[in-house]
């Protein structure tokens, strides 16, 4: 997962992008970058780690210009690879541009091979570069149903053609010398919103919380399949695909990824999460003394469960705010204490009580196991674990860095086996139906990681071998 941000027409473009990325920090902590155009040239600064580590005050000062884009990158298994830090810069025959990408292409490898056969070189191992090449290669005119503004004639047809070639999830921001462009894939896997502030600057962001931090108003979602161009001539919208796809919004954004104060896919994450909790309460009416969240991801479902069931909500596990990446490598003897660095039980709440503990999902199960154990050692009489989503049985191919199928506990264990593994008295997962209804299923969601049915992948099953 990643976060993208863009701003048009603001003297402090780099600084606002810095703030926006800060608000999107939860979408990626591996690296961060900002690209700015002064109308003629595009300049980039990027680095590893959190936004405040990757980009320094002097970087911001050097990034002069009124248009900017930014990116935060999610921590992936392979560690921090400097080749892949975004935004990517490109110079092609049509000029310069920079691009930042949230999502994952399912036909990237095939396109890469094709492009390489035509002489393309790839300087990263990231999908995003496929886009860059497709844009630069393209020679097709715009589709006939599209009426292009004259400012868009030179570049946009390239973007359209690239969009036709790639399959998968992408919410993009593109920076040109004098334009900001935002693109969302036709299934609309990843969120992307448009905003405007009182002095007339435009903003594009993965989530509305990034609009809030720059004091901009949410205007609307960028729609699945839509391309938005912003320049001195105003703001224009294009739909390069003639046929609409079924929307396949990532329901996991509601379950886990997005921030609770964001509105994504036209709904408030906050309400949807609470509704997950309410439905959990209906599906699993348990006799207990209190409901506690695994902070932060279980917070709102626990609140919803409490409201629906009447069982008191308590903060039974405190989350330490200061846990960071740069923590000392604990010695062998001390390693076992490492869970405690992040979460600590409030014995006062736990001791002698029957506890319902709620988290958003179980992936490998090791953290859940430690939590159950920690609660028991703090004196819990019973520990009932509820999960505000169905079992994760399959990896995501659309931009969320889930582990392989083998590592997913639920791909090989029954719920009862998982319950035993983590040591809980009860283990309950929200039903698929319950989850979809909470999120308003008419809107069209991807649920592949819960079901194994991949919306885009199925059509291309030669691409990826689903294990």
Ligand X SMILES: Nc1ncnc2c1ncn2[C@@H]1O[C@H](COP(=O)(O)OP(=O)(O)O)[C@@H](O)[C@H]1O
CB of 134 to ligand X, least distance (A): 32
* Rounded distance between C-alpha atoms, residue 261 and residue 4, angstroms: 17
Cβ atoms within 10 Å of 52's Cβ, excluding its own: 13
* Rounded distance between C-alpha atoms, residue 220 and residue 52, angstroms: 29
Task: Pick one of ligand SF4, a second copy, Mg ion, none as the site partner of residue 449 (Cβ within 5 to 8 A by kind).
Answer: ligand SF4
290 is a catalytic site residue:
no
- Applying CB under 8 A, what is the total number of residues that bind a second copy? 95
Identify the residue whose tokens are 């490598």: 329
Residue 449 among known ligand-binding residues: yes
Identify the residue whose tokens are 């001539």: 233
Which of 125, 237, 244, 320: binder of ligand X (CB under 6 A)? 320
201 binds Mg ion (CB under 5 A): no
Answer yes or no: are the C-beta atoms of 86 and 171 closer than 8 Å: no
Alpha-carbon distance values, 250 to 202, 226, 275, 398 (Å):
25, 17, 17, 8
DSSP assignment of 354-375 = EEEEEES--SSSHHHHHHHHHH
Residues 6 or more apart whose Cβ sits within 8 Å of residue 336: none
Q: Which stretch binds ligand SF4 (CB under 6 A): 326-334, 357-365, 377-385, 444-452?
A: 444-452
Residue 446 among known ligand-binding residues: yes
Residue 209 among known ligand-binding residues: no
208 binds ligand X (CB under 6 A): no
Q: Which stretch binds ligand X (CB under 6 A): 12-20, 96-104, 149-157, 255-263?
A: 255-263
C-alpha of 460 from chain center = 24
Between residue 291 and residue 330, which ones bind Mg ion under the rule CB under 5 A? 297
Binding mask 259-298 for ligand X (x = CB under 6 A): xx----------------------------------xxx-
Q: Is residue 305 within a helix (H) or strand (E), and if so which, with residue range?
A: helix 299-309
Instruction: Name the DSSP class of 266.
Output: T
217 binds a second copy (CB under 8 A): no
CB of 323 to ligand X, least distance (A): 9
Residue 250 among known ligand-binding residues: yes
* Rounded distance between C-alpha atoms, residue 121 and residue 247, angstroms: 33
Among 1, 2, 42, 357, the one annotated catalytic: 2
51 binds a second copy (CB under 8 A): yes
Q: Among residues 37 and 297, whose Cβ is nearest to Mg ion?
A: 297
Q: Give the interface with ligand SF4 as residue ranges (CB under 6 A).
A: 189, 250-252, 396, 398, 400, 446-449
């Amino acid at each position: 997962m990643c976060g993208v941000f863009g701003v048009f027409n603001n003297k402090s473009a780099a600084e606002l992008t810095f703030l926006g990325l800060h608000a999107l920090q939860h979408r990626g902590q591996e690296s961060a970058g900002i690209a700015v155009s002064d109308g003629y040239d595009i300049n980039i600064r990027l680095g590893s780690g959190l936004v405040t580590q990757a980009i320094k005050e002097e970087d911001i000062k050097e990034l002069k210009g009124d248009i900017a884009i930014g990116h935060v990158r999610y921590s992936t298994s392979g560690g921090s690879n400097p080749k892949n830090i975004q935004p990517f810069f490109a110079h092609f025959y049509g000029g310069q541009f920079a691009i930042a990408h949230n999502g994952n292409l399912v036909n990237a490898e095939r396109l890469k091979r094709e492009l390489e056969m035509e002489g393309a070189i790839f300087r990263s191992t990231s999908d995003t570069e496929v886009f860059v090449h497709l844009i630069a290669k393209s020679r097709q005119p715009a589709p006939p149903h599209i009426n292009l503004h004259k400012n868009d004639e030179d570049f946009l047809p390239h973007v359209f053609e690239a969009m036709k070639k790639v399959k998968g999830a992408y919410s993009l921001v593109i920076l040109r010398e004098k334009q900001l462009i935002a693109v969302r894939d036709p299934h609309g896997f990843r969120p992307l919103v448009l905003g405007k502030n009182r002095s007339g600057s435009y903003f594009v962001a993965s989530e509305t919380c990034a609009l809030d931090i720059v004091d901009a108003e949410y205007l609307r979602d960028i729609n699945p399949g839509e391309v938005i161009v912003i320049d001195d001539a105003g703001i224009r919208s294009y739909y390069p695909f003639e046929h609409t796809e079924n929307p396949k919004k990532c329901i996991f954004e509601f379950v886990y990824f997005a921030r609770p104060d964001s509105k994504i896919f036209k709904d408030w994450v906050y309400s949807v999460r609470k509704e997950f909790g309410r439905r959990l309460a209906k599906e699993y009416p348990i006799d207990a003394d209190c409901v506690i969240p695994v902070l932060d991801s279980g917070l709102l479902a626990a609140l919803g469960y409490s409201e629906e069931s009447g069982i008191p909500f308590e903060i039974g596990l405190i989350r330490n705010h200061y846990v960071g990446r740069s923590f000392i490598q604990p010695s062998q003897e001390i390693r076992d204490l490492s869970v405690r660095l992040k979460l600590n039980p409030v014995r006062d709440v736990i001791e002698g009580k029957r506890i319902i503990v709620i988290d958003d999902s179980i992936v490998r199960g090791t953290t859940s196991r430690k939590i159950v154990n920690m609660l028991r050692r703090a004196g819990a009489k019973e520990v009932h674990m509820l999960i505000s989503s169905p079992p994760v049985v399959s990896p995501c191919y659309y931009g969320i860095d889930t582990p392989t199928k083998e590592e997913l506990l639920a791909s090989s264990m029954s719920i009862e086996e998982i319950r035993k593994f983590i040591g809980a008295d009860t283990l309950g997962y929200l039903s698929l139906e319950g989850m979809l209804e909470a999120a308003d299923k008419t809107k069209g969601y991807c649920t592949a990681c819960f079901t194994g049915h991949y919306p885009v992948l199925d059509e291309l099953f030669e691409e990826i071998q689903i294990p």
